[in-house]
Amino acid sequence: MLIGIPKEIKNHEYRVGLTPSSVRELTAAGHGALVERNAGAGIGAADADYGLAGATIVDSAEEVFARAEMIVKVKEPQALERARLRPGQVLFTYLHLAPDPQQCKELVDSGAFCIAYETVTQNAGGLPLLAPMSEVAGRMSIQAAAHSLERAHGGRGMLLGGVPGVASAKIVILGAGVVGSNAAQMAVGTGAQVVVIDRNVDALRRMDRLLGARVMTMFSNSDNVEEQVLSADVVIGGVLIPGAAAPKLVSRELLARMKPGSVVVDVAIDQGGCFETAKATTHAEPTYVVDGVVHYCVANMPGGVPRTSTYALNNATLPFVLALANKGWKAALSDDPHLCNGLNVADGKVTCREVANDLHYTYHAPQSFLAA
């Protein structure tokens, strides 16, 4: 199979779909790789590194999309990239379709087979291709909060850990999953007061075993969310319903009652965000203020640390890329029901139930395409 790796074009996105070492694994298995010139520059991977791994370097994204049988990316295809997709071509990347009806429509119109990292599953019930970036984003959320809490950036002017004789900041984390647990690990290291809220008691038990008395765990209900959000200096939103739009846990009315200069970091913004006032921002302009509350809602947070993020992502995605290349998409999905769960759009049809429900498409089971 001929695999294409274009340069990412989303604002301040420096990651790349495949590293040179991943390309080497593919070429060693007999596959070809087309890499757009300078695609790996953001992670310090030179074109020569890809050449040594067996890739062919081409000058334009147009050539990559025109020639490759499968496109491997990181972020959802931008409008220009979606226009280059063709019927029958395989796209393997993050998609986050539920809050993005325009992208969904254009992928449906393309006739391509679009497999989303974020809905591929595993035996343990997790999301193995989302987890690495959730780990990165969870850890980065505390850095972003600390920066945004500074007075020069609109915040309350607080140091997360305080100093002797001065109270530390209070960080409330909504969600005890991968994002929440990684955020909590970083947060306790700053010396801040940390509260984690989730409706999954088993997840709260895991958090308690992991961090003990350094965090307070609370069951998620309206009273607890309201009480903790109103007393917080920082609120991290890390809730996720696989494939579906994130639930709005903090209303505009509740946010308006938060402390002036407090900070919200919405890690769930890729799926629409869990704050009613959230809207996607970029690394170029990461924050905005609503009702005196600083909002950090960067939709590609891990893109800020592209080297760490790309290598962590490739550790998880490479086995699936190899399976798709070795077997073809149909056999690979037939053999692996977890990879099959990643199929979101196929030949003009929506094949992810949550996306179909949220965006009002007719749902088509992915198995119907495998049997055809």
Region of residue 330 (phi > 0: left; psi between -120 and 50: alpha; otherwise: beta):
alpha
Cβ atoms within 10 Å, residue 213:
7
283 as an active site residue: the answer is: no
> CA–CA separation, 160 vs 149, rounded Å?
8
One-letter amino acid of 165: G
Catalytically annotated residue among 31, 96, 295, 364: 96
| b/e per residue 314-324 (b: at least 16 CB within 10 A) | bebbbebbbbb
- Cβ distance 289 to 268 under 8 Å? no
Q: What count of Cα atoms within 13 Å lies in the side-chain half-sphere of residue 335?
A: 10
Catalytically annotated residue among 270, 295, 336, 358: 270
Cβ-proximal residues to 125 (8 Å cutoff; 6+ apart), any chain: none
Three-state DSSP class for residue 105 = helix
Look at residues 247, 264, 62 and name the one whose alpha carbon lies nearest to residue 183: 264
Residue 57's DSSP bridge partners are 35
Angle at 107 between CA 286 and CA 318, to 5 degrees: 75
The backbone torsions φ and ψ at residue 262, rounded to the nearest 5 degrees and listed phi first, read -70, 170
Sign of CA dihedral 65, 69, 75, 80: positive
One-letter amino acid of 170: K
CA-based max dimension of the chain = 70
Cα–Cα separations (whole angstroms), residue 358 to 83, 101, 275, 328, 338: 23, 9, 18, 30, 22
Cα dihedral angle (178, 182, 183, 187), rounded to 10 degrees? 150
> CA–CA separation, 219 vs 198, rounded Å?
5
The catalytic residues are 96, 270
